[in-house]
Amino acid sequence: MEIREFAQRILFAGTLEEKLIPPPGGGLVDTDPGLALVTPDAPGRPSGLIFSARGQRARLPRADELHETEARAVLLHAFANHELLAVELMALALLKFPDAPPEFRRGLLRTLREEQDHTRMYIERMAAGGLTFGDLPVNGFFWRNIAGMPTPLDYVSRLSLTFEQANLDYSRYYSQVFQQMGDTETGVLLERIYRDEIAHVGYGLKWFRRWKREEHSDWDAWEKSLPFPLSPARGKGNAPFNPEGRKRAGLDADFISRMELFSHSKGRTPWVGWFNPAAEACALAGAGSHPSPPDEPDATTAALARDLDIIPAFSLHSEDVVLVHRKPDESHLRRLREAGFPLPQWEVLDTRGRIAASSPLRTRRLGRLRPWGWSADSAALLADLLPNAGETAFASIPWDGEIRALYAKTTAVQAATELAEAHGFPAETFGVCASSVEETAAALEKLAAAGYARACLKAPFGIAGRGVVQVAASGLTERGLTWLRPVLATQQAVVVEPWLDRVADFSSQYELTPGEPPRLKGQVRLLNDAGGRFLGCRAGASFGRLMPGETVREMQRLDMETLYRDHLPALLLRLPGFPRLYGSLGIDAFFYRHPLDGGIRLRPLVEINPRTTMGRVTLDLRRFAAPSKVVSLRILHRRALKGAGFSSLAEQAEALTAADPPVLTGTSSGPRLTSGTLPLNDPRRAESFLALLTVHGTPPPVTEGAWRATPKDRE
């Protein structure tokens, strides 16, 4: 029998039995390979195994569900379909490439025979679990993305080096899982398949290297050869990464390293994240219906944007995209991955800080756009992506004069005053807006009459703690006037508040959907210095346990859960601009000690942050820690190095992690951090700022002196 005849039978057969008949005992000849076949829309299949409509597929069981015989059979059903697809695609390659080297065709035939064996063995094992091949829907993803291969190089790139490489992860992992659960027979079967897949990947690699351009590395040539939606991410299984199997298949160390760290969507429409801490600076820059960004952010904000551009990765999915100034170093990414962080795809901005003209993001279907904050700079950067994004239903990017006003502390005062009237909070603690020196002096006089010795003045668009000054309530001094006059000249108002004895700061984090009340995601403890400047955040399973005991009775009396879940969101939705805003929102608040009776009081709204905050990042970081643990996020600044006894942020990070190394423990949802300190951005590249995650067993005491003062983060 000719190889061509054998391949035709397999490809077009309408029964499973015909597809799995091995080559005749006398072997096959290849004297008449025939003309190149035009790719059919689909292979021949029995009715129960015809490809289901896109999006229709059986849910694959999780590893912790495989103790059930039926669940194991469902997983094997999916594996059997993958093996049958490989058989069909190999038959197709034999028919499409009759002029390929004879050695290549013979090797392809040997691989096809082994894939037939794998299919038969999977069918036998799933039958032991009460399932017949075809009982569940089967998808044709492999066929749709490989069958159109124009050359043999494309065949080995797409099947051997992509889908068969991914099976190095799946087969080894599930072999171990099945054997641990007592299903030794299936575990041994998967171990055999694993060994075969090593040889299959090695076979494809041999021919790939022969056909690729010599000047390209294996990785570069492979990545360039994969058409969308394929990417190197498809060469990894949703299972522990297996470098040993790849090494045995012949892949080099550089390829394996880059493979381990590569991230890209496997089909999920990716969100796009960007860290733009200049959002307030853009709001400060000017008014108008579409305020423009400042020409250049100040040096501190620019350093923050460079050092912490990795931060959105900890709030997004592994199949999302994060815009960065430069790709993170591989050694740092490996450290994060070893600590259990699934990393996203990185998209490097061009030298102007823009999305490159050649970027696939400009033509790729996208999900949500998630800048740190909607502002003039994010509006300018992301406008070109909006037509591709799922947020086209929201009509436009939310940035105009109304959105800008949400950043103003004067807006927070108006909202807080309404909250005070509705719920009986002491109105004078929320502050008043003043538009002249005379109005400011009058407001201070009222605070002094009410018994407050100190007050603070806030610029409506103060940035990083630099828009606040503390003054005596008894009257303005020349120093206070020196600060006040230029603020009134440029921003036309200030906020005048009493200086309160703060007991504990906290922040409520919300998710925003246009037209809907903000949805409460959780609350975090804020750690500030004596001047109210941000130092860090803390989050845990129980918010109440993060707070001082003396605040708990007041929290219960006020029914804080209802206040922040229902009442405050309804109030915020009435603010102009809010119904169009989407993304993240943080509301800062604090408990204080009343100056007259010493009682604990709540100031429920201090600032509105219409953007992502470090508090939201801290909440999201809890995903990577064991559920019972408390996590802390600190932002260290290089100015604290001398006092801490270090010469660089890298040295400080090394000392902190050496004293408290990250520890992972298996949980029902996978490995999670149970203790330790971990730098989130690369300490060796950090110029000014270092973000540190610490996982605690129980909430540690808050000792403000141990937290070095840094510029206020925006909290």
- The 10s digit of each residue's pLDDT in 672-702 is 999 999 999 999 999 999 999 999 977 777 6
Picking from 387, 405, 423, the residue at the C-terminal end of a domain is: 405
Please tell me the predicted confidence (pLDDT) of residue 668: 61
For 314, the domain range is 272-405
Confidence band, pLDDT 50/70/90 cuts, at residue 395: low
Do residues 255 and 323 share a domain? Answer: no
Do residues 312 and 256 share a domain? Answer: no
pLDDT digits 0-9 by tens, 31-73: 999 999 999 999 999 998 999 876 566 788 888 788 889 999 9
* Contacts (Cβ under 8 Å, ≥6 apart) of 622: 539, 540, 629, 631
Does residue 715 surpass a pLDDT of 60?
Answer: no
- Phi, psi angle pair for 632, to nearest 5°: -125, 140
pLDDT digits 0-9 by tens, 343-360: 899 999 999 899 999 898
More confident residue, 55 or 316: 316
- The answer to the question of residue 327 being in a domain is yes
**Short-list 81, 90, 122, CA closest to 108:** 90
More confident residue, 295 or 470: 470
List C-alpha distances in Å: 581 to 280, 387, 404, 507.
Answer: 16, 18, 11, 19
Beta carbons of 625 and 672 less than 8 angstroms apart: yes
Do residues 222 and 278 share a domain? Answer: no
Do residues 289 and 250 share a domain? Answer: no
Do residues 293 and 208 share a domain? Answer: no
Instruction: Provide the 8-state DSSP code for 512.
Output: E
pLDDT digits 0-9 by tens, 302-311: 999 999 999 9
Q: What proportion of the chain, given as a percentage, has pLDDT over 90?
A: 70
Alpha carbon distance 194, 192 (integer Å): 5
- The answer to the question of residue 562 being in a domain is no
Do residues 68 and 133 share a domain? Answer: yes
Domain count across the chain: 2
Picking from 261, 281, 302, the residue at the C-terminal end of a domain is: 261
List C-alpha distances in Å: 655 to 262, 404, 507, 574.
Answer: 29, 42, 30, 49
pLDDT digits 0-9 by tens, 191-226: 999 999 999 999 999 999 999 999 999 999 999 999
Confidence band, pLDDT 50/70/90 cuts, at residue 387: confident
Do residues 253 and 279 share a domain? Answer: no
Does residue 413 surpass a pLDDT of 80?
Answer: yes
Do residues 255 and 280 share a domain? Answer: no
- The answer to the question of residue 236 being in a domain is yes
- The answer to the question of residue 144 being in a domain is yes
Do residues 303 and 155 share a domain? Answer: no
- The answer to the question of residue 433 being in a domain is no
Confidence band, pLDDT 50/70/90 cuts, at residue 709: very low
Does residue 153 surpass a pLDDT of 90?
Answer: yes
Alpha carbon distance 147, 39 (integer Å): 7
**pTM reported for the whole predicted model:** 0.80
- The answer to the question of residue 564 being in a domain is no
Picking from 390, 405, 420, the residue at the C-terminal end of a domain is: 405
What value does the mean pLDDT of the chain take?
89
Do residues 281 and 209 share a domain? Answer: no
Extract the tokens encoding 480: 């206070």
Do residues 77 and 102 share a domain? Answer: yes
- Strand pairing of 600-609 and 583-593? antiparallel
Alpha carbon distance 477, 471 (integer Å): 8
- The answer to the question of residue 138 being in a domain is yes
- The answer to the question of residue 378 being in a domain is yes
Do residues 154 and 289 share a domain? Answer: no
